[in-house]
Amino acid sequence: MDVTNRTTGLTLFNCSVDFSYRFTYYQITYSIIFICGLASNSRALWHLWHMPPTLTSTAIYMVNLAIVDLFFMVSLPLRIYYYYNRSHSSTWSPGSVFCQLTFTLKYMSMYGGIFFLACIGLDRYFAVTHATPRQPLRARNARSVSTMIWLLVLALSLSLPFLQYITFHNGERTDVPCQLDPSLGHHQTFILVALGLVQVAFLLPTILLLFSYCSILNVLSRMPHRAKFRQQRTLSLIYCVLSVFLLCFAPYHVNLLFYTLSHTGLVLSCTLATIVSALHPVVLSLASVNCCLNPLVYYCSSGGANRETSSSRSSQ
pTM for the model: 0.81
- C-beta of residue 253 within 8 angstroms of C-beta of residue 198: yes
Note whether residue 3 is domain-resident: no
Note whether residue 136 is domain-resident: yes
Average pLDDT over residues 263-287: 85
State phi, psi for 134 to the nearest 5 degrees: -75, 160
Note whether residue 202 is domain-resident: yes
CB contact burial 206-245 (16+ within 10 A = b; e otherwise): bebbeebbebbeebbeeeeeeeeeebebbbbbbebbbebb
CA distance 305 to 92: 46
The better pLDDT of the pair 2, 250 is held by 250
Average pLDDT over residues 138-148: 89
Query: For position 3, what pLDDT does the model report?
Result: 46
Query: For position 202, what pLDDT does the model report?
Result: 93
CATH code, domain with 106: 1.20.1070.10
Q: 1 pLDDT band (50/70/90 cuts)?
A: low
Note whether residue 296 is domain-resident: yes
The better pLDDT of the pair 106, 153 is held by 153
CA distance 253 to 143: 28
Residues 6+ apart with CB under 8 A from 83: 23, 24, 26, 27, 30
Per-residue HEC secondary structure of 146-180 comes to HHHHHHHHHHHHHHHHHHHHHHHHCCCCCCCCCCC
Domain count, the chain: 1
CA distance 129 to 219: 7
Note whether residue 177 is domain-resident: yes
CA distance 39 to 43: 7
Note whether residue 2 is domain-resident: no
The per-residue pLDDT of the chain, averaged, comes to 77
Whether residue 89 has pLDDT greater than 80: no
Note whether residue 1 is domain-resident: no
Q: Containing domain of residue 42, as a range?
A: 9-314
Note whether residue 166 is domain-resident: yes
